[in-house]
Amino acid sequence: MKARVIVTLKNGVLDPQGQAIEGSLASLSFGGVSNVRQGKVFDFEIEGTDEQAARSQIKAMCEKLLANTVIENFAIEISH
């Protein structure tokens, strides 16, 4: 199975990098863009066919390493 984990900053956590990117987009004349937030994507393969088991394993991986749950949320996508 292929898995994708998307880690994003929680609402209310200041994202100076997102703000800098937003400013840069504006300077490139891309109008109407607001609330830019920068995140991370992890793609990997995981053995097995049981999607539920994989999902709970990946959730544990996120909580223990991939995300800092003090400031970040995570979302898990699995495809076969």
* Site residues, another protein (CB under 8 A): 13-14, 16-17, 20, 64-66, 68, 70-71
Closest by alpha carbon to 9, among 76, 77, 70? 70
Write down the least CB distance from residue 66 to another protein, Å: 8
Q: How far is CA 29 from CA 22, 43, 75, in A?
A: 11, 32, 31
Which CB atom, from 13 or from 50, has the smaller least distance to another protein?
Answer: 13
Which CB atom, from 28 or from 65, has the smaller least distance to another protein?
Answer: 65
Write down the least CB distance from residue 52 to another protein, Å: 26
Whether residue 77 contacts residue 11, with contact meaning beta carbons closer than 8 Å, is answered with no
